[in-house]
Structure 1
Amino acid sequence: MIDRRSVIGAMASVPLAARAAAQAAPASATGMTPWPPAEHFPLWPGRPPGARATLPSPRPSMNGPAGQQQLWLRGIATPIVAVFRPERPDGRAVLTIPGGGYGFVSVQNEGIDVARTLNPHGITVFALAYRLPSEGWDHQADVPLQDAQRAMRLIRANAARYGIDPARLGIVGFSAGGHLAGSLTVGYDDRVYAPVDAADRQSARPRFSGLVYPVASLSTPTTHAGSRDNLLGPHPDPATKARYDSPRRITGTTPPLFLVHAVDDGLVPLDQSLDVLTCARAAKVPVEAHFFEKGGHGFGALGAPEGAPARLWPDLFDRWINHTLGA
């Protein structure tokens, strides 16, 4: 299990308002931002794709050493997107996809804290609390990508409401969330669910993609085995395994890529980002990479110590986005 971050979750088959109230209390008790925030929306109008008769039950938990404990979200039956608006929005937007080995979702470290760092730059941030594939869904490998695609389409369909430019919407993903971000980057048009409403006519393609200490390939020796097994299950068919081997699917039409990794990452080795870098360069896809000597795994947006070089990546990401968009 990946030792980091936080999350409080919503979910199960109770109303959104009731879930929000029920789960804000634990966050307040620990001094963390309540989850979900007041502004959020569900992804699906009814039961999500692949739902079985019995849905997962919410299982938030506190993890980590004393004084640094964070909440992890499990048992997500109703995936949601939280909205974090900047004081001075400039039209740019990012869907942030937290990690957790596809076994939990780390909303604080790689969701709320991402908004805290990017909002001051004028970027509207949407944080995705997606379903976990091994919690009892049909076609389990497709479940996270279903939620990520649907989130992008709903954000674009409601761009005017959020004050964003739908052509300036990108993503950033962390660890296993980096794998999901990579899957969305190369598989934004994969048909993994049947359209449910007009929003599904929108494109799910990100304008740009940030991958932070990502689990990139599920077929190489350096992959994170827990993420692979939680996503694919014990006996994946070769076609499904190949579809989620994201670096091998990078082509000349893939969106520009931004990579962040620590050389001393002992959980998801640097080789995973190097694999993406190599494939992007071969396909002549614009790619920028920042590899920090120290940082370990799971430093998120604010987890690196003050003064550490790894703490600077959100500022570099902001500048890179502007450069990529031609601002």
Structure 2
Amino acid sequence: MASFWNQGLIILSLWMGLQHAVTAADSTVKITPDVVYGHKDGLAMTLDVFTPSENANGAGVIFIVSGGWYSQWSPPEKLHGMLKPLTDAGYTVFAVRHGSSPKYGIPDAVADVRRSVRFIRLNAKQFGISPNRLGVFGISAGGHLSLTLGTTGDDGRANDPDPINRVSDRVQAVAAFVAPTDLTIMVREAKDRLPAYDRFPALDLDLAAAKKLSPLLQVSADDAPTLLLAGAKDDLVPVSHSQNIKAAFEQTQVPNRLVEFPEAGHGLPPADMKQAIQEMLSWFNKHLAQPST
């Protein structure tokens, strides 16, 4: 079985292959690279901003750059190839990198992406977006982190000395591709754990931490509307991850949709990826594109 990160690269490559070539000279978008949203161990945590040059709709979408809870840098001009459907539709997109495995674990990644949402919301006016129209998506581990934001967002801590931490990290819509939702069946203590998970140091968690970091176990009625996209033949993150959290969303009446691709594994083939992108755009258009009344 391929790693989360390698599978993530496969998915990104397929996605980018569906788009026209994008270069730094592309006039449809303004790219602002390496915006610092925080610091850790003396290092900057960064995101790239992709702002439509025309027809911006005032909504923002966060892309969590993560596979296997590894988060790597790539030139933003290249990354725009996969984000272009969103910017063409008027969304301002934020590509967020978190502290990467193996140096940093899942709790660190969760804290980082939380901070990125707070930072973006605090600076919404500067970015030309509404602070109440933020979506998030990710692939595999990025999908897990997106679901974590969608199921555990808070309103900020009013008395925190850091102004960023006083701001909410709630999102208004989620799209999660082939996402793990239950870490309790993936950590070392888990019975019948898949051998492939031994290769992921980020999963070196005790069961208590795994429960806290499992979106499936955090579902509540105030969660963000969530789109789930999954391969029925995924042998790395079985489709049951998405099916189970869908059932939890149904029980709590959280708006949701699950799209299963019958012949797909962890990496969606081009035709399925094209459909998945359209499903994501439709979901964000429904829940983000129009200003709140």
Aligned match of 1:103: 70
Aligned match of 1:324: 287
Aligned match of 1:85: 51
Distance across 2 between alignment mates of 1:227 and 1:256: 32
Aligned match of 1:129: 97
Tell me, yes or no, if the aligned pair for 2:156 and 2:169 is still in contact at 8 Å: no
- Aligned residue type for 1:84: F
Unpaired runs of at least 5, structure 2: 10-20, 25-30, 186-191
Match of 1:178, SS state, is helix
Q: Does 1:41 align with 2:6?
A: no
Between the aligned residues of both structures, percent identity stands at 25
Tell me, yes or no, if the aligned pair for 1:169 and 1:207 is still in contact at 8 Å: yes
Please, what TM-score do these two structures have when normalized by structure 1?
A: 0.70
Tell me, yes or no, if the aligned pair for 2:8 and 2:139 is still in contact at 8 Å: no
Match of 1:79, SS state, is strand
Aligned match of 1:284: 253
> Are residues 227 and 145 of structure 1, via their aligned partners in 2, closer, same or farther at CA, if it must alter by over 3 Å?
farther
Distance across 2 between alignment mates of 1:156 and 1:223: 38
> Higher RCO, 1 or 2 (CA under 8 Å, sep at least 6)?
2
Q: Does 1:159 align with 2:159?
A: no
Tell me, yes or no, if the aligned pair for 2:66 and 2:97 is still in contact at 8 Å: no
Give the counterpart of 1:142 among 107, 116, 120.
107
Unpaired runs of at least 5, structure 1: 7-30, 56-76
Give 1:173-252 correspondences, 5 Å limit: 173-189=138-154, 197-220=162-185, 226=197, 229-233=200-204, 236-252=205-221
**Deviation, structure 1 residue 133:** 4.2
Distance across 2 between alignment mates of 1:309 and 1:298: 10
Distance across 2 between alignment mates of 1:228 and 1:324: 37
For the aligned residues, what is the CA RMSD? Answer: 3.2
Please, what TM-score do these two structures have when normalized by structure 2?
A: 0.77
Give 1:49-88 correspondences, 5 Å limit: 51=41, 77-87=43-53, 88=55
**Deviation, structure 1 residue 160:** 1.1
- Aligned residue type for 1:205: R
- Aligned residue type for 1:210: A
Aligned match of 1:311: 274
Tell me, yes or no, if the aligned pair for 1:118 and 1:314 is still in contact at 8 Å: no
Tell me, yes or no, if the aligned pair for 1:100 and 1:106 is still in contact at 8 Å: no
